[in-house]
């Protein structure tokens, strides 16, 4: 026999569901915070004096073949601290629920980020449509480019390659932490001096994976003379494929001659 569970089990921790509506192909969950008070984001004073309320509608993970939308009741509180310039503030939900001004819950945002890392823009958007995730290709790319919060140790193994701000017109430099498999910076151009300055500020880098672009190689050699430079995987596979095709086509070329 299955155990009983409440509607709260479907929601991120810290929320209480007041009611659930089925609107066509969408499930709408009306929820609110379990806390009776909130802390002022400027001075930290805890307040219970509610000034007003409004609604937020972040998207959540789909369920049972339907899109899910949270309708969050957000309360505005009065800060009673003497001298605090913030007179009225909105309550903040826990980070594992949603971020301020975010259009998705944190758990949906993490799913979007992982799909974006795995597939990129357009392929991710195509898959998202089948998964009932209303996310555009640009949103997937923005989630990948978003910097990781918190203090992160200096990278040890990085990958450097160029990427297009606007294809055929403007290019920048993409830098990845290959051990953490994360994008850590986007440089505004692919000028060797820009890359050299970035590398020089991070002397802990030991290995640099790059393409055959001589500009990146020279910048790495000048900034980190002791670092090991290696060809990245994509160019190794491309070179191997080119060598294989050249080797298999030569006998046919001789026969046709």
Q: In the predicted model, is pLDDT for residue 25 greater than 50? A: yes
- Per-residue pLDDT band for 141 (boundaries 50, 70, 90) equals confident
Q: How many residues does the chain have?
A: 257
Query: How many other β-carbons are positioned within 10 Å of the β-carbon of residue 45?
Result: 16
Question: What is the reported pLDDT for 58?
Answer: 92
Query: Do β-strands 66-78 and 88-90 pair in parallel, antiparallel, or remain unpaired?
Result: antiparallel
pLDDT in tens, 151-178: 457 889 999 988 888 777 888 888 888 8
The answer to which of 6-15, 209-218, 220-229 has the lowest mean pLDDT is 6-15
Question: What is the reported pLDDT for 32?
Answer: 92
CATH code of the region 151-237: 3.30.420.10
- Per-residue pLDDT band for 248 (boundaries 50, 70, 90) equals low
Read off the pLDDT of each residue in 236-246 and give the average, rounded to a whole number: 79
Question: What is the reported pLDDT for 250?
Answer: 55
Strand runs labelled E in the chain: 15-23, 26-33, 38-39, 46-47, 50-56, 59-63, 66-78, 88-90, 157-166, 170-177, 182-187, 207-210, 228-231
Question: What is the reported pLDDT for 56?
Answer: 94
Angle made by CA atoms 181, 186, 191, in degrees to the nearest 5: 125
Which of 98, 73, 77 shows the shortest CA–CA distance to 13? 98
Please return the burial class of 137, using the count of CB atoms within 10 Å of its CB with bins 0-12, 13-18 and 19+: middle
The answer to which of 61-70, 153-162, 188-197, 229-238 has the lowest mean pLDDT is 229-238
Structure tokens at 169: 């017109």
pTM greater than 0.85 (yes/no): no
DSSP summary character for residue 142 = H
Question: What is the reported pLDDT for 253?
Answer: 46
Question: What is the reported pLDDT for 151?
Answer: 43
Structure tokens at 97: 């629920």
Strand runs labelled E in 44-201: 46-47, 50-56, 59-63, 66-78, 88-90, 157-166, 170-177, 182-187
Q: Residue 10, SS3?
A: helix
Q: In the predicted model, is pLDDT for residue 148 greater than 70? A: no
Q: In the predicted model, is pLDDT for residue 4 greater than 70? A: no
User: Could you tell me the residue ranges of all domains in the chain?
Assistant: 9-94, 104-146, 151-237
Read off the pLDDT of each residue in 65-71 and give the average, rounded to a whole number: 91
């Amino acid at each position: 026999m299955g155990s009983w569970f409440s509607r709260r089990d479907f929601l991120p921790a810290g929320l209480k569901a007041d009611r659930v509506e089925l609107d066509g192909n969408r499930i709408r969950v009306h929820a609110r915070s379990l806390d009776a008070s909130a802390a002022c984001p400027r001075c930290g004073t805890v307040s219970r004096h509610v000034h007003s309320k409004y609604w937020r509608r972040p998207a959540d993970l789909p369920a049972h073949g339907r899109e899910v939308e949270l309708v969050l009741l957000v309360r505005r509180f009065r800060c009673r601290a003497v001298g605090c310039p913030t007179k009225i503030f909105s309550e903040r939900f826990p980070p594992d629920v949603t971020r301020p001004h975010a259009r998705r819950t944190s758990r949906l945002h993490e799913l979007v980020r992982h799909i974006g890392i795995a597939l990129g823009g357009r392929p991710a958007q195509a898959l998202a449509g089948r998964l009932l995730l209303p996310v555009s290709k640009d949103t997937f790319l923005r989630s990948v480019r978003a910097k990781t919060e918190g203090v992160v140790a200096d990278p040890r193994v990085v990958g450097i390659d160029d990427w297009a701000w606007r294809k055929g017109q403007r290019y920048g430099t993409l830098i990845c932490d290959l051990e953490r498999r994360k994008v850590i910076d986007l440089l505004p151009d692919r000028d060797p001096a820009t890359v050299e300055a970035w590398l020089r500020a991070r002397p802990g880098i030991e290995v640099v994976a790059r393409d055959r672009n001589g500009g990146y190689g020279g910048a790495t050699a000048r900034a980190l003379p002791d670092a090991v430079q290696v060809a990245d995987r994509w160019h190794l596979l491309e070179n191997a494929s080119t060598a294989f095709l050249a080797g298999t086509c030569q006998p046919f070329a001789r026969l046709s001659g």
